[in-house]
Chain A
């Protein structure tokens, strides 16, 4: 019997088979289905109504409001109201209303654990792979099918390994790793297969940094990203109130077949910046130094978790945001805000002149507060900088790590964050 990759093992379990082969089509039992206010109830409810069908297992459904929170107009208020009413009418208890961005909230609350087969109604659902589960994004039709039957079909993807060796230098983070991977592999490099991150650098990363890696598997065009669980994963899941189970069970076999292996070295990685309008348009920060910005945005599931805020705080401590820039910070969850308030991070950020925003998707996809005006330039810790995503088509978004976004806020233009970190920690 040939070795199985981690993703293949999870799919096989969900399909009730011993093994699966890449390219094979199987039907899987879904362990959990996640929806948010934008793609969730308002889109699936009409299909369920047409079918006259009920949710197969309300305990296996999680609903989060994050895209349109807090409501800014009648339309967004209506979307939130629709979501709340659907959740109540269908008896879904796992409802996180205005508690933060779905991918972060899901992990914070222990909903995910290694070996699970999960679907999410959002393109950054690969984030779930950070805890060693197989989670991928589906559209409304697929989601409706899952809600009715508890099953979905899948064409078993092959696995592409991204191997990282070495240690990240001061001022360099998971976001830089992903921008470098996007530059090298391109936005189609993931080819709707699974990206498995491995190697000593990954072992050394925190769970929040691992989330950033898996989150941006979407920018590589992968079906999902995944990281095999280790002790850190087990401890994290337990602390979040979940049950990590037997993590030894959810490791790829040593002789598993990978479609490709891409090797990267963290020792030589410098802070990266993606120029408009693609994450693949990335290169070292030095190539963009001096680029003027109007707004610096620290937000999104990708770049506003507690550790992301701490990175920004290390740059901002004892400094002021430049007068020509506005620094907006939208913590990824209300828990992030509470933790950052408790450990002093928030005070450092606000003392520097940062403007604190509600927890939610905010300006990331152009839905919420903090969008750009004509011809404005923003540097953001978000995942995507497609044309027009954060404002009009002629506005520009540069992507970077929270360190680099904070450095730009202080300098008034894009700058190397390492210049602001001499002397070390916050």
Chain B
């Protein structure tokens, strides 16, 4: 059993309808994932990719990750070190990909308020988002324990790797 996923970091704010082309621009598809990640979200916030620090959190509006099925959109965020996304809703395929790549993506209908440098904390187990800078808290949909385990392991493939290794030890 791994630690329940709680992520805390600086907030990066985005609006509605941030699509997969903005997250993983098609023109960089042929290059490395690292190069792709360095262009992640640059058309909406050029400061994002160079400025992100491991553990930071994305706070967005409705339909985050809408668009194509490309897994790279979620992967790019994890490469930059983003640990959690809080949004009003998600593109369905992006949501699957995010969790499978170990990104704690939670849904909250609350009007969460944060300024760019505020520190946020996301608790996927109980379903709570806290602005550590202002002390305010909001509810979010909790994530079931076995998916939190998968996220904590770094995603679907690493978590399977861990499970299979554990079986062999037995």
Contact = CB atoms under 8 A, between A and B. Distances in A.
B100 A188 contact: no
B164 interface: yes
A155 B95 CA distance: 9
Interface string A35-58: 000000000000100111100000
A149 B92 contact: no
A192 B100 contact: no
Contacts of A157: 92
B156 A50 contact: no
Contacts of B95: 155, 192
A139 B73 CA distance: 13
Contact of B157 (A23, A141, A188): A141
A27 B92 contact: no
Interface stretch (B36-44, B115-123, B143-151): B143-151
A385 to B, nearest CB: 16
Interface string A109-140: 00000000000000100000000000001111
B161 A141 contact: no
Contacts of A258: none
B161 A51 contact: yes
B147 to A, nearest CB: 6
Nearest to B142: A25
B40 to A, nearest CB: 19
Interface string B74-99: 00000000000000000111011101
Contact of A27 (B93, B97, B141, B146): B146
Contacts of A137: 69
B16 interface: no
A141 B147 contact: no
A142 B100 contact: yes
A50 B66 contact: no
A163 interface: no
A148 interface: yes
Consensus secondary structure, chain A interface: mixed
A148 to B, nearest CB: 6
Nearest to A27: B146
Contacts of B69: 123, 137, 139
A138 B99 CA distance: 13
A145 interface: yes
Given A25-B144, A157-B92, A141 B160 contact: no
A27 B144 CA distance: 10
A25 B164 contact: no
A14 B18 CA distance: 33
B92 A223 contact: yes
B71 interface: yes
Contact of B71 (A23, A139, A188, A192): A139
B157 A139 contact: no
Interface in A1-47: 23, 25-27, 47
A51 B100 contact: no
B90 to A, nearest CB: 8
Interface of A: 23, 25-27, 47, 50-53, 123, 137-142, 144-145, 148-149, 153, 155, 157, 188, 191-193, 223
8 contacts: A51-B157, A52-B164, A138-B96, A140-B71, A141-B155, A145-B100, A145-B157, A192-B91
Interface of B: 66, 69, 71, 91-93, 95-97, 99-101, 141, 143-144, 146-147, 155-157, 160-161, 164
Given A138-B96, A141-B156, 6 more contacts: A23-B141, A139-B69, A141-B71, A144-B160, A148-B164, A153-B146
